[in-house]
Structure 1
Amino acid sequence: MSTEDKSVSKFLSLVLRHKPEILSLHLDENGWASVDELIPKAQAHGVSLTPASLNRIVATNDKKRFQFSEDGQRIRASQGHSIAVDL
């Protein structure tokens, strides 16, 4: 994983596990966020995130921190939440 991907992965962990409010990102009760909402909000926050980089980060993360929904439209952290979610 590149240095940039590691940095983005850490940011995604922060947002999806602990502080979605950083991006005003809505997580449902199971911790899912819309990919179509996440990407532009992350970009507006100065994070270099594209559909391709998000797919790469999810696929290559050695600890499998993130997962896509079956239809690929949503993403969530797989573990380690400090916010209430029902995995």
Structure 2
Amino acid sequence: MTLPDVHLSRAVSHALRHEPWLYELELDEQGWVPVDQLLSALREKGGEWVSVDRPALDRMIEGGSKRRHELDGDRIRALYGHSVPGRVQRHKADPPAQLFHGTAPETWDVVQGDGLRPMRRQFVHLSMDRETALMVGRRKSADPVLLVIDAASAAASGTRFYEGNELVWLAANVPAKFIGIEE
């Protein structure tokens, strides 16, 4: 029996983003771990997991709707979403002029004063398009608000941005003066 890609993706994300120590993995400063170590840790779960191999990882990564993980030779890492202690090192990048963030309406009051902060993650997640931001916002509210980020001005004022993947940008925080709400 083959393990569904969605189950594999969730387990790999958990291991590489949130609790690598539960899998006896150590992320390097850029979040990489050896593929063989990850596969061994997953196989120890038993049952369907014993069949997890490198081709299964390749299929999961290539078949996903979003690029969440990256393979480089014999290494793998999560591209974003880390909540592990310490910060995964990123390379600064120039963001597009605007980015978006979907959230619950009651959060808007806090954002107006404090800006966007990463909360339990290492970075604030920002979307390239309105639809993705609203989809993410629906995880927090049935009727999310759409925040519009003036990323170009924020970057010009010193906010550091990092590319997560083709749809997601990251920032340590975004000051309130660069955030508006789309009515």
TM-score strictly above 0.5: yes
- Residues 17-28 of structure 1 correspond to what in structure 2 (within 5 A)? 17-28=17-28
**1:52 is paired with a residue of what secondary structure?**
helix
Judge conservation of contact 2:43–2:52 (CA < 8 Å) in 1.
Answer: yes
Structure 2 match to 1:44: 44
Does 2:96 match 1:85? no
Judge conservation of contact 1:16–1:76 (CA < 8 Å) in 2.
Answer: yes
Structure 2 match to 1:57: 60
More strand by share: 2
**2:52 is paired with a residue of what secondary structure?**
coil
- Residues 28-39 of structure 1 correspond to what in structure 2 (within 5 A)? 28-39=28-39
Alpha-carbon distance between aligned partners in 2 of 1:44 and 1:11, rounded to the nearest angstrom: 12
Q: Unpaired segments of 5 or more residues in structure 1? A: none
The residue identity in structure 1 corresponding to 2:67 is K
Q: Which has the larger radius of gyration?
A: 2
Q: TM-score, normalised by structure 1?
A: 0.87
**1:76 is paired with a residue of what secondary structure?**
strand
User: Percent identity among equivalent residues?
Assistant: 37
Q: Greater relative contact order: 1 or 2 (C-alpha under 8 angstroms, separation 6 or more)? A: 1
The residue identity in structure 2 corresponding to 1:73 is D
The residue identity in structure 2 corresponding to 1:40 is S
Structure 2 match to 1:73: 74
The residue identity in structure 2 corresponding to 1:56 is R
Q: Unpaired segments of 5 or more residues in structure 2? A: 91-183
Does 2:9 match 1:6? no
Q: TM-score, normalised by structure 2?
A: 0.43
User: How many residues end up aligned between the 2 structures?
Assistant: 84
Q: List, as ranges, runs of 4+ consecutive aligned residues in structure 1 with deviation greater than 4 Å.
A: none
